[in-house]
């Protein structure tokens, strides 16, 4: 088994390949004699680019086809952005490891170099996220906001061609592929709270693949794992995703973790936010407790008014 080639399944975008290569490099650095290769798999989310994420659903949108390839034995592990990975995984699969977290905040990208507080109702904003839309409308209810889809480079091209004046994107996505120069402003959480697990590269495996899971344990970043566990518990309890405006982030200090989260109506007029602090090892409990608090304070009604009828 020592020389068995480890096959990584990933989407084919520049950012996805960066993430897959980061996992490949982590494995090769930790296990110098281990052969590792990358296999590109196209997902539903890559193929449907003319419909807003919130309208096509998001359960497995960027992950299902890679998971199917893993179950079929075509790849040994799947690499995702953790924020794209549903909180409930298909039977027999598990989140096995995460790499050290990169920038967790959102970035504002402006053609004219404007910052958030300088934007006016004349500026056309673009985002594919209901979370970002709600937060922007809370900042200014008269903002013009368009949907935008596609990979990072596609979105930047659309902006340069005049589709919009401003975009909000994950800062880590721009930084990872060397497009830092496009960032006009990194937005603090009190300006625009990030989604759960942003900036974290996730590795998904089969539960019964002992060999692969032992390898993953050797590259798992514990601090990031603790943060991701808390944030995913918050998201799972709210049953959220791209279809609902939910955000959260964690901070750790001296063995303590503070998790802050929000739930909002799509137009930002109803907005609930709270924080909770406890032992960092109890992150899952903290995430569940914070989400439950928000639900009891009125979040349940907000979410019921948003979710599409099944």
Alpha-carbon gap, residue 247 to 261, rounded angstroms: 6
Rounded distance between C-alpha atoms, residue 60 and residue 85, angstroms: 7
Output b/e per residue, 169-204; b: 16+ Cβ within 10 A.
bbbbbbbbbebeebbbbebebebbbbbbbbbbbbbb
Of the residues 58, 76, 84, 123, only one is catalytic, namely: 84
Active site residue 84: yes
If we measure between CA atoms, which residue out of 243, 242, 229, 248 comes closest to residue 291? 248
Task: Tell me whether strands 6-10 and 77-81 are parallel, antiparallel or unpaired.
Answer: parallel
**Residue 250 half-sphere exposure toward CB, CA atoms < 13 A:** 35
Burial class (CB in 10 A: 0-12, 13-18, 19+), 119: buried
- The SS3 assignment for 262 reads strand
> How many C-beta neighbours within 10 Å does residue 59 have?
12
Backbone angles phi, psi at 265, to 5 degrees: -75, 165
Q: Which residues are annotated as catalytic?
A: 84
């Amino acid at each position: 088994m020592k020389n068995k080639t480890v096959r990584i399944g990933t989407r084919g975008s520049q950012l996805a390949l960066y993430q897959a290569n980061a996992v490949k490099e982590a494995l090769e650095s930790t296990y110098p004699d281990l052969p590792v290769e990358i296999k590109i798999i196209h997902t539903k989310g890559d193929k449907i680019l003319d419909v807003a994420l919130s309208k096509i659903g998001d359960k497995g949108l960027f992950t299902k086809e890679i998971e199917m390839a893993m179950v079929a034995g075509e790849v040994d592990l799947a690499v995702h952005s953790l924020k794209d990975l549903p909180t409930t995984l298909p039977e027999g699969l598990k989140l096995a490891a995460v790499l050290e977290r990169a920038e967790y905040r959102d970035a504002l990208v402006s053609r004219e170099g404007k910052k958030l507080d300088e934007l006016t109702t004349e500026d056309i904003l673009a985002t594919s996220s209901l979370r970002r839309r709600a937060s922007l409308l809370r900042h200014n209810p008269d903002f013009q906001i368009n949907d935008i889809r596609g990979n990072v480079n596609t979105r930047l091209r659309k902006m340069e061609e005049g589709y919009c004046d401003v975009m909000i994107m994950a800062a880590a996505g721009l930084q990872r592929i060397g497009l830092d120069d496009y960032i006009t402003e990194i937005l603090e959480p009190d300006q625009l709270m990030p989604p759960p697990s942003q900036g974290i590269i996730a590795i998904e495996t089969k539960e019964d693949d002992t060999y692969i899971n032992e390898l993953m344990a050797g590259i798992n970043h514990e601090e990031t794992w603790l943060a991701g566990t808390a944030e995913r518990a918050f998201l799972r309890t709210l049953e959220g995703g791209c279809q609902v405006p939910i955000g959260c982030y964690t901070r750790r200090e001296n063995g303590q973790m503070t998790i802050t989260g929000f739930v909002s109506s799509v137009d930002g007029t109803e907005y609930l936010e709270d924080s909770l602090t406890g032992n960092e090892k109890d992150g899952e409990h903290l995430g569940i407790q914070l989400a439950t608090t928000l639900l009891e304070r009125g979040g349940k009604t907000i979410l019921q008014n948003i979710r599409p009828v099944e």
